Amino acid sequence: KERTLAMIKPDGVSGNYTEEIKRIIVESSFSIVREMLTQLDNEKASAFYDEHSSRSFFPDLVTYMTSGPVLVMVLEKRDAVSDWRGLIGPTDAQKAKISHPHSIRALCGKDSQSNCVHGSDSTSSAEREIKFFFDDVLSG
């Protein structure tokens, strides 16, 4: 079995999508191994998205990610990383509504920034991101 980091971003939490997303997670055969509702500050949001620090959208991204609480979860199943990425759909929620109408971003995202959920993009990112939030959990 594999683990991935899933996050319901501030727009998803404030838009009351948590229960529906968790229902989709469980119905899709993931186990929720850990979960934590937390508020990111500028330092933590910047560190989480460090790979995007030189992008023009980075300041807006940090403002968005610190705008309210997020729900971070460790999900487990076979092929968890790619299966969760598949469920959430493309980054741009506007495009997701057209190309992946049953995806989570089509359900609750708005555009290329406010896209409701996050998923690790590889097993190595999953390991890093799980450690980032749950220092005491083994990511293997």
Residues 6+ apart with CB under 8 A from 39: 66, 68, 69, 70
Q: Which region among 17-25, 33-41, 68-76, 112-120 touches ligand ATP (by CB under 6 A)?
A: 112-120
Phi-psi region of 41 (alpha: psi -120 to 50; beta: other; left: phi over 0): beta
Looking at beta carbons only, is 129 or 134 nearer to ligand ATP? 129
Could you say whether residue 86 binds ligand ATP (CB under 6 A)?
Answer: no
35: enclosing H helix or E strand: strand 31-38
Q: Tell me if 91 is assigned to a ligand binding site.
A: yes
Looking at beta carbons only, is 125 or 136 nearer to ligand ATP? 125
Looking at beta carbons only, is 42 or 91 nearer to ligand ATP? 91
CA atoms of 102 and 121, how far apart (whole Å): 20
Residues 5-44, interacting with ligand ATP (CB under 6 A): none
Instruction: Give me the active site residues, please.
Output: 118
Out of 4, 46, 103, 115, the residue judged to bind ligand ATP by CB under 6 A: 115
CB atoms within 10 A of CB 50: 10
